[in-house]
């Protein structure tokens, strides 16, 4: 059995470990994060080259099934995988970690809308944790930003007043509480990534009365089989692909 596991998440690493060595798993990472945490088994790093590249790769490598365990905001990869697997008749599963309950957060649909919410509400000190790809949306705002990212953002995309904190989770509640207090944060901007690795920032914000602006998840492709746990994904592989 050969599975293409679209990964880069803790769930993908856990699934690779659970299937190994009974299933041949090829984990695919986008390659956007330096020195990524690697799963057990085979690993490929880098994009496929769009829909046609993914189609060709699946054919050339005789893949029995595809499990998409990418980040909830990897919408392009998720859409490509759903399209190609449907076209080729390759069994396909989406492992999507449960979203957070947004609660009282200001819910928006994009980084641009999040920047508008920050401007409209007049926040002055913002903890920005949406990742480097969306930072440019905040470049023209007058607020001060504490920007947490895994890799250094492009200088041209940074707001005029900012501090960059290079860091990678998981994070602890006490540390997040201290960070918000020390920097006198009045708004947290985040994506609804779900999971426990970055959840403490929300709990710390709630404890301090910090307003949360949350970018909602992109919609999933229609008709895709979806589970929300590693155990369910492993069970699907076992029932779908036979030696």
Q: What is the pTM of this model?
A: 0.91
Residues 80 and 120 in one domain: no
Per-residue model confidence as pLDDT tens for the chain (243 residues): 899 999 999 999 999 999 999 999 999 998 877 778 899 999 999 999 999 999 999 999 999 999 999 999 999 999 999 999 999 999 999 999 999 999 999 999 999 999 999 999 999 999 999 988 889 999 999 999 999 998 889 898 999 999 999 998 899 999 999 999 999 999 999 999 999 999 999 999 999 999 999 999 999 999 999 999 999 999 999 998 765
pLDDT of amino acid 169:
87
Q: CB burial class (10 A; 0-12, 13-18, 19+) of residue 173?
A: middle
Other residues' Cβ atoms within 10 Å of the Cβ of residue 222:
6
Residue 202 belongs to a domain with what CATH number? 3.40.50.150
Residues 31 and 110 in one domain: no
pLDDT of amino acid 243:
53
The structural domain count of the chain equals 2
pLDDT of amino acid 25:
96
Within 13 Å, how many C-alpha atoms sit on residue 158's CB side?
16
Residues 225 and 129 in one domain: no
Give 199's contacts (C-beta < 8 A, 6+ positions apart).
Answer: 100
Question: In terms of residue numbers, what domain contains 51?
Answer: 2-97+218-240
Give 49's contacts (C-beta < 8 A, 6+ positions apart).
Answer: none
Residues 51 and 27 in one domain: yes
pLDDT of amino acid 138:
97
8: left (phi over 0), alpha (psi -120 to 50) or beta: left
Selection from 95, 88, 133 nearest residue 114 by Cα: 133
Structure tokens at 221: 């492709």
Residue 80 belongs to a domain with what CATH number? 3.40.50.720
Residues 119 and 45 in one domain: no
Residues 133 and 193 in one domain: yes
Residues 11 and 47 in one domain: yes
């Amino acid at each position: 059995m050969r599975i293409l596991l679209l990964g880069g998440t803790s769930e993908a690493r856990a699934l690779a470990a659970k299937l190994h060595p009974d299933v041949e798993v090829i984990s695919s990472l986008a390659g956007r994060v330096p020195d990524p945490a690697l799963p057990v088994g085979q690993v490929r790093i880098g994009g496929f080259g769009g829909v046609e590249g993914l189609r060709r790769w699946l054919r050339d490598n005789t893949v029995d099934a595809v499990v998409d365990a990418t980040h909830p905001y990897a919408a392009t990869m998720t859409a490509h995988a759903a399209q190609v697997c449907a076209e080729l008749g390759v069994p396909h599963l989406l492992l999507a970690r449960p979203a957070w309950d947004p609660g009282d957060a200001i819910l928006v649909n994009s980084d641009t809308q999040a920047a508008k919410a920050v401007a409209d509400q007049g926040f002055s000190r913002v903890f920005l944790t949406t990742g480097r790809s969306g930072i440019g949306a905040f470049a023209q705002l007058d607020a001060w930003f504490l920007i947490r990212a895994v890799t250094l953002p492009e200088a041209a995309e940074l707001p005029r007043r900012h501090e960059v904190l290079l860091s990678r989770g998981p994070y602890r509640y006490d540390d997040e509480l201290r960070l918000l207090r020390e920097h006198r944060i009045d708004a947290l901007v985040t994506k609804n990534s779900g999971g426990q690795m970055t959840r403490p920032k929300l709990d710390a914000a709630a404890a301090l009365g910090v307003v949360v602006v949350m970018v909602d998840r992109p919609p999933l492709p229609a008709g895709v089989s979806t589970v929300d746990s590693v155990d369910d994904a492993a069970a699907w592989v076992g029932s779908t692909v036979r030696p």
